[in-house]
A = this chain, B = another copy of it.
């Protein structure tokens, strides 16, 4: 049985170095709150707010370290509450996506693009992928055994010797199934 650790991503934001300085002040450095499952990644102590045409959301967690481009990842449910229609994309693929206003303690950013609903995926360390005969970019079927059992189709495999084995889903997917971070899913195909 191919068991995979589940990591549920709540809405969060990755910020560029330039945007960190606008939102928090010149030379500002994020403070690590908690390490994430992928090596080097962390949840920061800092949070921001975002303002869409229909609503505002506060306490959006920043994930570090700084990236080359700012990216806000929200659920489809969040997108209706904020009043925007971001596409389903893999992380980093933000061309043509909507922007949003980001509000920090020291300033605001009118983001021009970078809001996505993050497409589910599994991070495999190269050795895990090899053991299970799975290759990078393969599409998998995954079962979530929560209170409302679900089979996810089109789950993208991402393989690297920099990755730790982890299924990343968002809160809509987790809540639809009734699963939480640190539970396990099963690759069935």
Contact = CB atoms under 8 A, between A and B. Distances in A.
Nearest to A10: B80
A175 interface: yes
A119 B148 CA distance: 8
Interface string A64-87: 000000000001110010000000
Interface residues of A, number: 22
A147 to B, nearest CB: 5
Contacts of A151: 150-151, 153
Copies of this chain, whole number = 2
A120 interface: yes
Contacts of A120: 148
A36 interface: no
A172 interface: yes
B178 A175 contact: no
Interface string A87-125: 010000000000000000000000000000001100000
A176 B169 CA distance: 10
Contacts of A41: none
A171 B172 CA distance: 9
A96 to B, nearest CB: 16
A84 to B, nearest CB: 14
Contacts of A137: none
Contacts of A147: 88
Nearest to A152: B150
Interface string A145-167: 00111111110000000000000
A125 to B, nearest CB: 25
A77 B77 contact: yes
